[in-house]
Each structure stands twice: as structure tokens, then as C-alpha cells.
């Protein structure tokens, strides 16, 4: 049996000292696109950030590939470096580095975290941008990009080191109807390559169109629906 | 007396008088109380700074409030101007009655007033503003140990000389046999005051013997720096030299003849008839021994003065004052002087620019370190750096320069330029660090999350993402600070660095007017700051979206 890409084991989350989730268990297998749903304030973003190692969580264990995160503190040092080979995150508001071009945004971690030389990093970054349909915007600064373009650059940045797990926070929030369709095609393509995606969203239509299954945060519990046939 | 400083602007009067007063206060403190000299000097300077600035304001108020009435309108009084900060034996506050002044100049004023059947009234004026004050009618005559200089002769009606002094070469006792004359001091630094005969002597020695003149603002620091080994000799008039050697251990006066000069009284040109009366009184007092008795009382009677009196008292009436001591140079016209001083001003402007640029580079580097420490550092480091910033921002730059140059001298004797550079850089580093700290905190938290989610360390995030974005936010206030630094660099003249403002004040003192030197100086400062502001605005526009 293949190992899960992500496993939540008794995960407990709190926000501002208040518990928002208790005893959550889930596993995500390679090649799955899973939607994380729930009302605003239910803790979707909190959960995404905990898995991405950005905030400490209150209880349990998060396992991302070979990396095990325990509650109480943010990962640091070797754990942090190992974690970010396994997981990429696309923020709701993208957070592209304002001082760098699209190309430099994508290549930054390759050069400075993974020791790839700059020419090779630029080549890989350009290839990724081309694949995501924004290759022609490689030398634009973030403020020069449209919302859809910025999202694709942010996805390229998250995919630069080829992590098996990609986290997306509200990926459709800033897109119009046509762009949502394009995004769905793009994400299905990533899944087809064997990548695992966990997308926090409140967009039911998008979840229904893309996700193989849905996890729902409700009243402090994590509910599972059945995998769709 | 040349007791302190070359002519300086009114706004600088506080800073200037600070030096001399503080030195006197420091000298008396360390002598009388026997406290640690460095400490007493610093505290005396703080005190003197306060007094100095009050004095400057009082002077300003006086100038504003008192209408410039013609001196003759008040002919029941003889109003004489002097600087009581110059101290004994010239003019100083009476220790028994703080409202009166004593000194040989006070005695001469009393002598003149008595013969003119007027009441003497002393009017305090900063040494550097005496000439300007008598010209605008603030008082009738300057009696304050002013020297008979060609530039002064060109714009004031001077009395006949009433005292002859020798310029004295002062050296450390250990160098007594090594440095006997200026010829022994080739390539060495020799201190004096600007706009004095002594400064002219040194200027000539610079071209003739390669001596390096160092101009001070007061008559105490040259001797202190000599004792510390920062300079190798001092040239000043004998009155000051003897007073200073008496209170600074380890110094000796050489007997070599350098030059002699004269103290005179100064009237406005319109008062030349009063000046002629004064000459008659002085001549009579030379004949009947009154002046001799005055100078004997202060231990200043010398064969040179006796010979002067023998010469001067031969004449009768008229205005011999104008033919007194043969001036070493004729007075220069403004146009001719501009030709001489402009290259000096340009050179001084280069020093201002170089000093400001280096200080700013250092301030930015140190400021970045402080800001990083305050944003990323441990609690103790943050507290330490916050204390540094508050102490530096909360105390005057002038005081910091004094502490670095004079206060630290017991531990490390920094050359003046290095002390100036450090003083400016460390002061501005505190301000820069606050700009960077604010800018670092203004970078959106999402940028930091994104950097962390790529696996960048804090240092990498600072260098690649946060720092560059903060720098753009900091650009406008940094430009502002650099322009302020350019102008604050004028403060380093108090530790003997001749930069643009100092060179201008020497120029102004030498030609006796601030109009042309002031304009030239202002244009040069603008020429330095305007292009900088322009470049900064362009950079800001280019980065405005980032």
C-alpha cells in the first residue's frame, strides 16, 4: 500500500486561545484533490497554515510525507527545510514578493534554499511559468500582474521545488467565472501528474467540479464525505 | 585678547562661546575641586552649553529690541563693548560683584570715560560679533583685546595701539630643545585661533616652512590638544600663552621672536572724532604713566610696551592709530578676496561632501544593524539598542562630538577627522535605525509568511525580501536625513575640522563681512543638496509601486 502524502492524527487547532477544532483525523493519498470546506471562521485557513508549518497547533501530529510535525511550536532548522521540500502553499492573496519579478519569485527558493545555480533556476522557473500560461509575464513585477496572472505565478512559486503536496487557500476567491474554469483544468492537470492537492474553499460549485472528496469543518469537528465514485 | 574664536554667525554664537566658557569652567573645576578632569570638562561643557545658548538668545533679543541709536545721542555715557567670557586679564566678571567687570580693558574704559566726562557702561557682546556690534551702534567703542589687523583697520576707526604683545611658540616640555622655532616644525601640526595675527603668522609659515596650521575656536583647546599630543605646538599672543602655560602642566613657552602685534580700541568710522579724542587721552596716559600703572597691576608691563609708549607718545593729535603698526598685508577688496578664498571654500566644500558621504554610509550600515537587532534580537539586545538610540537622540550632537574628541582623549586620541566622522555617523545611525525599524515593521506580514513557506531563514528573508522592500519605504526619510547631515557636518568645526561653514566664517572674519562669504557658502550647500534631492525623488518615483 502506498504511504499517505498527508496524515492528520488527533489534530487540535486553536485561534486566539480559543479551540476551533478538536481530534481531527484524515489522510490524503497521492493524486487526490481534496476540498476543505466550512463556514467563514470555521478554521480552514488556520488548518492550512498549521499543515504548512506557519503556525503552531494545539494538539496531535501532522505528518507530511516523511516529516512529522508535533504540536506546540513551529518547525525550525532541519525540520523546516525538509518540510518545504514536501509542501507548497498558495495564499489567498498570493503574497508575491513585491520587490521581485515573477521569474525571481519562482526561482528564489531554488537558488537560496535548494542551492540550484541561478541560470538553472531561471530556466526551471521560466518552464513552470510557460506551463501555467504566464511565461510572457516573467519579467513583470507583482503589481503589474492581473489577479489571475498573480495566482498562476504564485502556484508556479509553490511548485518550484516540486513538492508532492500543494495547499491552496481560497483559490477561486479572486477569480471570475471563466478564470475559475481555467483554474479547475489546471488543478486537475496537476492531480493527473500524481500530485496531492488540499484546497480550502467555500465555493461549492468548484469543490463539486474538482474535488474527489470533501472535508468539512463544522462545530469544531472534521467531517468526511464519501469518496465520489 | 583674541580670547576666542574667529568671527562666526549669530546662530553659532551659542556653540562658539560654549567652547571657551566651558574650558574656563572646566579648568577651574578641575583645579579647585580636583575632580576627574575629563568628567568635569564634560559637565562644565553641558553647563556652558546652556549658558552659551541663553547668551546667544539674549544677544539676539538685544539686537532685535534695541534700536540702533547713534552713539552720540547718549553722550552722558561711554558705552564700551567687550566679551567677558574672554576672562582675566582682559575683561571678566568681578568675583566680588557679579554685575561689574574688571580687567585692564575695564580700567582703560574708566580712564577714557573719566577724561571724556562720561560714565562708563559695559555692554557684553560675543567676541566674534564685536566688530559688527560697534558698526551698528550697539556701543561706542570696543575694548576687548582686539588686534590691530589690516582687515579691521579697513572697516573700523581704530585707536592708537595701547599694548604691544609678542606671538609665543608654546611646546611640550619634552620638545623644548627639538621645536625652538617654526622652522623646526616642518610638516607638524601647529594650533592657533582663526582671524588673528597668529593665524597669519602660521599661514605664512605654511607656505615658507610647510607647517600645518590647525585653527581652533577658542584659546584653551589648542593648549589641551598640545598637552595630549594631537598637535606639536601652539602660536598665540603672549598674554594667552602665559595664562595657558600657567594652568596646563607640561607646557613651556619658547622665547623665539615670531611677530609682534598690538591691542587697539575700535570705533565706528562715523565716530572718528571721538576716536581722535580717545587717542589724545591714551597718549597723555602714556606720558604720565597712568597706562603703565594699569599694566603693571596686571603683571603685563614689558620692555616692548615701554618702547611702544616711547614711540607713540612722541606724536601729537591726529589719528596716528591709522598709521600705528604697519599692517603685514593691505586690506583686500571683496572681489579680490573672493579670488583668494573661493578655492579654499571649494576645498572645504569637498571636505564637507566627503565627510557627509562617509558618515552617511557608516550611519546607514550601523543603523541597519541596530534596526535588525531591534526587530530580530533577543530581549536584552533590544533593550540595549533601544537605550543607545534614546541616549543618542536625546543629547546634542555637539556634546557627543566633544565627548568623542576631548572626553575620550584619555583613552584613545582620535584624529579630528576620524572623531568627526565617528561622531556624525554614530549620531545619525540612531536616527537611521529608527527609520529602518519602522520600515521593516511596515513590510506586510504576508510577505514574511510567503518567505517562510519557501524555507527561507530569517536572515535570508531580511536580505532578499524584507530589507529591499523596507529600503524603498526608507528612501524619502533617508534623503531628508542626508541633507540634514550635510548641514550638521558644520558642527565638526568645533573639533578643528575646517569644513565649508568654518572656511566661510574665516573668510567672513578676514574681510569683515558676511554678505559675499555667506552667499557663496549657501550656494555651495545648495549645490550639494539639490542634486541629491533630485536623484532621490527620481528613485522614489521609480519605486513608488513596489
pLDDT digit string, tens, across residues B232-252: 999 999 888 988 898 888 999
Indicate if B339 and B417 belong to the same structural domain: yes
Q: Which of residues 44-103 of B touch A (CB under 8 A)?
A: none
Q: Exposed, middle or buried: residue B232 (CB in 10 Å: 0-12, 13-18, 19+)?
A: buried
Reported as a single tens digit per residue, the pLDDT across B64-91 is 444 444 444 457 899 999 888 777 788 8
pLDDT at A76: 77
Name chain A contacts of B451, Cβ cutoff 8 Å.
97
| Cis peptide bond upstream of B220, omega within 30 | no
Task: Give the pLDDT of residue B343.
Answer: 86
What is the percent of chain B where pLDDT is above 90?
Answer: 43
Are B224 and B168 part of one and the same domain? yes
Mean pLDDT of B323-349: 68
Separation of alpha carbons A133 and A147, rounded Å: 14
Please name the member of A85, A91, A108 whose beta carbon is closest to the beta carbon of B449.
Answer: A91
Q: Give the pLDDT confidence score for residue B285 in this predicted structure.
A: 92
C-beta atoms surrounding B50 within 10 Å: 12
Of A99, A109, A112, the CB nearest to B468: A99
Q: Is residue B159 part of a domain?
A: no
Interface contact flag, A52 B450, Cβ < 8 Å: no
Contacts of B293 (CB under 8 A, 6+ apart): none
Cβ–Cβ of B452/A54 closer than 8 Å?
yes
- Residue A87 to chain B, least CA–CA distance (Å): 9
Q: Do B32 and B105 reside in the same domain of the chain?
A: yes
B113 and B60 in a single domain? The answer is: yes
B544 touching A (Cβ < 8 Å):
no
Tell me whether residue B499 is in a domain: yes
pLDDT for the residue A51: 92
Instruction: Say if residue B413 is in the same domain as residue B447.
Output: yes
> Could you say which DSSP state residue B289 is in?
T
When CB atoms are compared, the residue of B450, B452, B545 closest to A97 is B450
- Position B74 scores a pLDDT of 54
pLDDT on residue B430: 96
Say what the pLDDT of residue B17 is: 35
Look at residue B215 in the predicted model and tell me its pLDDT: 84
Contacts of B450 in chain A (CB under 8 A): 91, 95-97, 157
* Residues B87 and B199 placed together within one structural domain of the fold: no
pLDDT score of B355: 93
Q: Any CB–CB contact under 8 A between B117 and chain A?
A: no
Q: In which domain, by residue range, is B67 found?
A: 10-145+266-323
Going from the C-alpha of B417 to that of each of B4, B24, B124, the distances in angstroms are 22, 25, 34
CATH of the domain at B535: 1.10.3720.10
Which residue in chain A has the smallest CA separation from B460?
A112
Predicted confidence (pLDDT) at residue A80 exceeds the cutoff of 80: yes
Domain count, chain B: 3
pLDDT band with cut points at 50, 70 and 90 for residue B527: very high
Residue B155 covered by a domain:
no
Give pLDDT, residue B324. 42
Q: Range with the lowest mean pLDDT among A80-84, A93-97, B320-324, B394-398?
A: B320-324
Q: CB of B444 within 8 Å of any CB in chain A? A: yes
Identify whether B212 is part of a domain: yes
Q: Are residues B111 and B232 in the same domain?
A: no
For residue B449, which residues of chain A lie inside 8 Å, CB to CB?
54, 91, 95
Residue-wise pLDDT tens digits, A3-52: 889 988 888 888 887 888 888 888 999 989 999 998 888 888 989 999 99
Question: Nearest by CB to B456, which of A83, A89, A113?
Answer: A113
Q: Are residues B404 and B506 in the same domain?
A: yes
β-sheet bridge partners, residue A14: A19
pLDDT tens digits along B9-68: 333 333 333 333 334 433 333 333 333 333 334 444 444 444 444 444 444 444 444 444
Task: For residue range A152-168, list pLDDT tens digits in order.
Answer: 999 999 999 889 999 99
Q: For chain B, give the number of residues.
A: 546
> What is the SS3 assignment for chain A?
CCCCCEEEEEEEEEECCEEEEEEEEEEECCCCEEEEEECCCCCHHHHHHHHCCCCCCCEEEEEECCEEEECCCCCCHHHHHHHHHHEEEECCCCCCCCCCCHHHHHHHHHHHCCCCCHHHHHHHHHHHHHHCCCHHHCCCCHHHCCHHHHHHHHHHHHHCCCCCEEEEECCCCCCCHHHHHHHHHHHHHHHHCCCEEEEECCCHHHHHHHCCEEEEEECCEEEECCCCC
Residue B77 lies in a domain: yes
State how far Cα A158 lies from the chain centre.
8
Shortest alpha-carbon distance between residue B454 and chain A (Å)? 6
What is the reported pLDDT for B154? 86
Higher pLDDT, B156 or A15: B156
| Mutant choice from A55, A92, A98, A114 vs B, greatest count of B C-beta within 10 A | A98
HSE-CB at B334 with a 13 A cutoff on CA atoms is 11
Which pLDDT band, with edges at 50, 70 and 90, does B545 fall under? low
Residue B442 in contact with partner chain A when CB distance is under 8 A: no
- B99 domain residue, yes or no: yes
Task: State the smallest CA–CA distance between residue B445 and chain A in angstroms.
Answer: 9
Interface pTM (ipTM) of the complex?
0.92
For the segment B264-277, the average pLDDT, to the nearest whole number, is 93
Residue-level pLDDT at A169? 92
Highest mean pLDDT range out of B48-62, B123-137, B353-367?
B353-367
B466 in any annotated domain: yes
- Best of A55, A79, A97 to disrupt the B interface (most B CBs within 10 Å) is A97
Same domain as B367, residue B488: yes
Q: What percent of chain A shows pLDDT beyond 90?
A: 39
Q: Does B445 touch chain A (CB under 8 A)?
A: no
Residue whose C-alpha is closest to residue B433's, from B378, B490, B379, B390 = B390
Kindly list the structural domains of chain A, giving each domain's residue range(s) and its CATH number in brackets, ordered by start. Answer: 6-224 (3.40.50.300)
Is B174 part of any domain?
yes
Do the Cβ atoms of B453 and A84 come within 8 Å? yes
Distances (CA, A) of B299 to B88, B283, B292, B312: 12, 21, 10, 21
- How much is the pLDDT for B71? 44
Average confidence score pLDDT of chain A: 88
Supply the pTM of this predicted model.
0.67
Task: pLDDT band for A226, please (50, 70, 90 cuts).
Answer: low
Check residues B63 and B435 and name the one with the higher pLDDT: B435
Asked whether the predicted pLDDT for residue B268 surpasses 60, the reply is yes
Percent of chain B at pLDDT exceeding 70: 81
CA nearest A157 in B: which residue? B454
Cell of B374: 531591534
Nearest to B446 among A85, A93, A99 (CB): A93
**Mean confidence (pLDDT) of chain B:** 80
Assess whether B238 and B118 both reside in one domain.
Answer: no
Give the end of a domain, one of B254, B277, B308.
B254
Chain B CB contacts of A78 under 8 Å are none
Q: Which of B215, B232, B254 is the last residue of a domain?
A: B254
CATH of the domain at B96: 3.40.190.10
What local confidence, expressed as pLDDT, does residue B219 receive? 81
**Distance from C-alpha of B497 to C-alpha of B420, rounded to nearest angstrom:** 8
B137 and B217 share one domain: no
B139 shares a domain with B192:
no
**So what's the pLDDT on residue B124?**
83
Q: Does B452 touch chain A (CB under 8 A)?
A: yes
Amino acid at each position: 500500500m502506498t504511504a499517505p502524502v498527508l496524515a492528520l492524527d488527533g489534530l487540535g487547532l486553536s485561534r486566539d486561545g480559543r479551540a476551533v477544532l478538536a481530534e481531527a483525523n484524515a489522510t490524503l493519498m497521492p493524486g487526490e484533490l481534496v476540498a476543505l470546506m466550512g463556514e467563514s471562521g470555521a478554521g480552514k485557513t488556520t488548518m492550512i497554515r498549521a499543515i504548512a508549518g506557519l503556525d503552531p497547533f494545539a494538539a496531535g501530529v501532522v505528518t507530511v510525507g516523511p516529516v512529522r510535525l508535533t504540536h506546540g511550536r513551529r518547525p525550525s532548522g532541519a525540520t523546516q527545510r525538509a518540510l518545504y521540500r514536501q509542501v507548497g502553499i498558495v495564499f489567498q492573496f498570493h503574497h508575491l514578493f513585491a520587490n521581485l519579478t515573477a521569474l525571481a519569485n519562482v526561482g528564489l527558493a531554488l537558488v537560496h534554499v535548494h542551492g540550484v545555480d541561478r541560470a538553472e533556476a531561471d530556466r526551471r522557473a521560466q518552464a513552470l511559468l510557460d506551463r501555467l500560461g504566464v511565461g510572457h509575464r516573467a519579467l513583470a513585477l507583482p503589481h503589474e500582474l492581473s489577479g489571475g496572472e498573480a495566482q498562476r505565478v504564485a502556484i508556479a512559486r509553490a511548485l518550484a521545488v516540486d513538492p508532492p503536496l500543494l495547499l491552496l487557500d481560497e483559490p477561486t476567491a479572486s477569480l471570475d467565472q471563466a478564470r475559475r474554469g481555467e483554474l479547475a483544468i489546471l488543478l486537475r492537470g496537476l492531480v493527473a501528474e500524481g500530485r496531492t492537492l488540499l484546497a480550502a474553499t467555500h465555493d461549492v460549485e468548484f469543490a463539486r467540479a474538482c474535488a474527489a472528496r470533501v472535508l468539512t469543518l463544522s462545530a469544531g469537528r472534521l467531517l468526511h464525505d464519501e469518496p465520489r465514485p | 585678547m583674541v580670547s576666542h574664536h574667529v568671527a562666526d554667525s549669530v546662530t553659532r554664537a551659542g556653540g562658539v562661546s560654549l567652547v571657551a566658557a566651558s574650558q574656563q569652567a572646566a579648568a577651574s573645576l578641575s583645579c579647585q575641586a580636583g575632580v576627574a578632569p575629563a568628567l568635569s570638562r564634560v559637565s562644565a561643557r553641558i553647563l556652558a552649553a546652556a549658558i552659551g545658548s541663553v547668551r546667544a538668545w539674549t544677544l539676539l533679543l538685544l539686537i532685535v529690541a534695541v534700536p540702533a541709536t547713534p552713539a552720540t545721542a547718549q553722550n552722558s555715557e561711554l558705552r564700551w563693548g567687550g566679551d567677558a567670557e574672554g576672562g582675566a586679564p582682559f575683561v571678566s566678571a568681578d568675583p566680588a560683584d557679579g554685575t561689574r567687570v574688571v580687567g585692564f580693558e575695564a580700567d582703560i574704559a574708566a580712564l577714557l570715560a573719566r577724561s571724556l566726562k562720561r560714565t562708563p557702561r559695559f555692554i557684553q557682546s560675543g567676541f566674534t560679533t564685536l566688530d559688527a556690534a560697534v558698526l551698528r551702534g550697539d556701543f561706542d567703542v570696543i575694548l576687548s583685546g582686539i588686534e590691530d589687523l589690516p582687515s579691521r583697520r579697513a572697516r573700523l576707526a581704530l585707536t592708537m595701539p595701547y599694548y604691544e604683545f609678542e606671538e609665543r611658540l608654546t611646546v611640550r616640555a619634552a620638545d623644548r630643545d627639538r621645536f625652538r622655532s617654526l622652522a623646526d616644525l616642518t610638516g607638524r601640526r601647529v594650533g592657533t585661533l582663526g582671524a588673528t595675527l597668529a593665524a597669519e603668522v602660521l599661514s605664512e609659515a605654511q607656505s615658507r616652512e610647510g607647517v600645518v596650521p590647525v585653527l581652533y575656536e577658542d584659546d584653551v583647546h589648542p593648549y589641551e590638544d598640545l598637552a595630549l599630543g594631537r598637535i606639536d605646538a601652539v602660536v598665540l599672543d603672549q598674554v594667552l600663552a602665559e595664562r595657558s602655560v600657567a594652568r596646563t602642566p607640561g607646557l613651556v613657552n619658547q622665547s623665539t621672536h615670531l611677530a609682534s602685534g598690538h591691542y587697539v580700541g575700535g570705533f565706528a568710522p562715523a565716530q572718528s572724532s571721538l576716536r581722535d579724542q580717545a587717542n589724545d587721552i591714551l597718549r597723555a596716559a602714556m606720558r604720565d604713566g597712568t597706562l603703565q600703572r594699569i599694566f603693571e597691576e596686571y603683571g603685563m608691563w614689558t620692555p616692548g610696551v615701554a618702547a611702544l609708549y616711547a614711540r607713540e607718545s612722541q606724536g601729537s593729535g591726529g589719528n596716528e592709530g591709522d598709521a600705528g603698526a604697519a599692517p603685514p598685508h593691505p586690506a583686500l577688496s571683496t572681489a579680490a578676496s573672493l579670488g583668494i578664498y573661493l578655492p579654499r571654500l571649494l576645498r572645504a566644500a569637498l571636505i564637507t561632501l566627503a565627510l557627509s558621504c562617509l558618515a552617511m554610509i557608516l550611519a546607514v550600515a550601523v543603523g541597519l544593524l541596530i534596526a535588525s537587532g531591534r526587530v530580530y534580537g533577543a530581549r536584552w539586545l533590544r533593550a540595549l539598542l533601544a537605550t543607545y538610540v534614546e541616549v543618542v537622540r536625546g543629547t546634542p550632537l555637539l556634546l557627543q562630538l566633544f565627548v568623542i574628541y576631548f572626553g575620550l582623549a584619555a583613552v584613545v586620541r582620535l584624529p579630528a577627522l576620524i572623531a568627526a566622522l565617528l561622531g556624525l555617523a554614530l549620531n545619525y545611525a540612531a536616527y537611521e535605525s529608527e527609520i529602518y525599524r519602522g520600515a521593516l515593521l511596515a513590510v506586510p506580514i504576508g510577505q514574511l509568511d510567503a518567505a517562510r513557506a519557501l524555507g527561507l531563514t530569517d536572515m535570508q528573508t531580511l536580505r532578499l525580501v524584507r530589507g529591499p522592500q523596507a529600503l524603498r519605504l526608507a528612501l524619502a526619510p533617508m534623503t531628508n536625513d542626508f541633507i540634514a547631515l550635510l548641514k550638521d557636518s558644520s558642527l565638526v568645526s568645533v573639533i578643528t575640522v575646517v569644513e565649508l561653514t568654518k572656511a566661510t566664517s574665516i573668510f567672513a572674519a578676514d574681510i569683515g563681512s558676511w554678505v559675499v562669504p555667506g552667499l557663496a557658502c549657501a550656494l555651495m550647500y545648495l549645490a550639494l543638496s539639490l542634486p541629491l534631492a533630485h536623484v532621490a525623488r527620481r528613485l522614489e518615483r521609480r519605486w513608488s509601486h513596489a
